[in-house]
């Protein structure tokens, strides 16, 4: 059987009618009645299809119309959105590498965010002085400073401590430690003569204690040390000693204890000094200050529920906090003045 010819139309004409006539001219030779019935049905159905098409198009346009508000019942069905929390930015001195600071300090920020109506954001500084500048310029609302840098900066800036951490004996003090490798022949500060010494930041207590009273106690001066180098972080001091690039180093006791079972030995320690404070500007929001104080002071590390919460906190914070005031650091200022008088 020969099929009807296929036609393609590019002009604007009645394509349906042309195709239909072509189809019927072929079919009329074989089934003229069927062709007539199809044509009749098509003419009856075509207007109905057009009407439904217009209705669908009108409904589509209505659904896309966003100029009218949703009905009230739609609003009632939507869950109420909570307003975002105000952000409290907390700075921290760069005593440790950024990844270590984040691991130990971010869980504390999360705890504060979960137990207050604020979101606490950690802001790690480039160095010790940058942490002070961020606070005094109000880039951060509060900052964890070192005891030494706070005591020096408070004479220039109107800042005050609000909290300080407790040690494993539940006392608000820490020490600096002189560390060497386990196989070292150094057993006291007196053995540092002619040796290479690694120190943390010049704005840290550990970087000043040894060059001050530590050496003086053994009638040594810095000129008798063959090499003295300052590094950005306490952990860098540890690495330099372990790699045998330096013979000894001075670091915070929390760091010395961390590496004591990993090839290092503690040779000497400083006198206890007040712990590294959480500091705010003098005109800080008193509500926020009181809130942070109350949340952190109530932590009891002897209770199992708090032990679980604090297990990933920096070791310096794992024994809780106590209130701090400016006069707590007067003793450290006397020590600093003594260093300068040497």
Say which CATH number the domain at 245 has.
Answer: 3.40.190.10
Query: What value does the mean pLDDT of the chain take?
Result: 84
Q: Do residues 93 and 133 both lie within one domain?
A: yes
pLDDT 10s digits, 219-262: 999 999 999 999 999 999 999 999 999 999 999 999 999 999 89
Residue among 233, 256, 239, 283 nearest 100 (CA):
233
In a domain, 80, yes or no: no
pLDDT 10s digits, 10-63: 344 444 444 445 545 544 554 554 445 555 666 666 777 777 777 776 666 665
Q: Do residues 25 and 155 both lie within one domain?
A: no
Q: Do residues 135 and 163 both lie within one domain?
A: yes
Domain that holds residue 297: 89-170+280-341
pLDDT at 76: 44
pLDDT 10s digits, 184-194: 999 999 999 99
pLDDT at 7: 35
Q: Which of 235, 270, 305 is the last residue of a domain?
A: 270
In a domain, 68, yes or no: no
Q: Do residues 165 and 214 both lie within one domain?
A: no
Q: Do residues 166 and 100 both lie within one domain?
A: yes
pLDDT at 72: 47
Mean pLDDT of 132-140: 96
In a domain, 241, yes or no: yes
Backbone angles phi, psi at 241, to 5 degrees: -70, -45
pLDDT at 336: 78
pLDDT at 334: 82
In a domain, 31, yes or no: yes
pLDDT at 8 over 70: no
In a domain, 64, yes or no: no
Q: Do residues 287 and 166 both lie within one domain?
A: yes
Q: Do residues 296 and 151 both lie within one domain?
A: yes
Residue among 191, 204, 306 nearest 253 (CA):
204
**Chain mean position to CA 60:** 48
> Structural domain tally of the chain?
3
Q: In 115-209, which residue ranges form alpha helices assigned H by DSSP?
A: 128-136, 147-153, 206-209
Mean pLDDT of 66-94: 65
């Amino acid at each position: 059987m020969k099929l009807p010819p296929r036609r393609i139309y590019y002009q604007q004409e009645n394509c349906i009618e042309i195709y239909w006539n072509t189809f019927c001219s072929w079919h009329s030779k074989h089934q003229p009645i069927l062709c007539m019935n199809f044509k009749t049905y098509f003419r009856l159905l075509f207007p109905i299809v057009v009407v439904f098409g217009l209705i669908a198009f009108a409904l589509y346009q209505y659904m896309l119309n966003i100029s009218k508000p949703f009905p009230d019942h739609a609003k009632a069905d939507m869950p109420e959105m909570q307003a975002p929390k105000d952000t409290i930015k907390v700075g921290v001195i760069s005593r440790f590498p950024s990844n270590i600071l984040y691991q130990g300090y971010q869980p504390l920020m999360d705890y504060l965010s979960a137990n207050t109506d604020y979101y606490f954001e950690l802001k790690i500084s480039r160095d010790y002085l940058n942490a002070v500048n961020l606070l005094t310029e109000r880039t951060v609302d509060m900052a964890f400073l070192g005891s030494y840098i706070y005591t020096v900066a408070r004479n220039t800036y109107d800042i005050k401590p609000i909290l300080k951490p407790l040690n494993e004996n539940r006392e608000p003090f820490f020490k600096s430690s002189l560390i060497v490798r386990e196989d070292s022949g150094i057993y006291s500060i007196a053995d540092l003569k002619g040796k290479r010494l690694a120190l943390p930041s010049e704005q840290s207590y550990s970087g000043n204690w040894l060059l001050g009273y530590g050496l003086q106690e053994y009638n040594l001066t810095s000129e008798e040390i063959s090499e003295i180098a300052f590094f950005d972080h306490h952990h860098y001091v540890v690495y330099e000693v372990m790699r045998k690039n330096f013979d000894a180093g001075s670091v915070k006791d929390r760091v010395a204890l961390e590496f004591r079972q990993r090839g290092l030995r503690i040779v000497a320690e400083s006198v206890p000094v007040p712990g590294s404070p959480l500091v705010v500007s003098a005109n800080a929001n008193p509500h926020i200050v009181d809130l942070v104080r109350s949340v952190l002071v109530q932590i009891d590390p002897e209770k199992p529920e708090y032990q679980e919460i604090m297990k990933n906190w920096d070791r310096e914070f794992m024994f809780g906090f106590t209130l701090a005031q400016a006069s707590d650091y007067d003793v450290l200022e006397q020590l600093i003045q003594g260093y300068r008088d040497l």
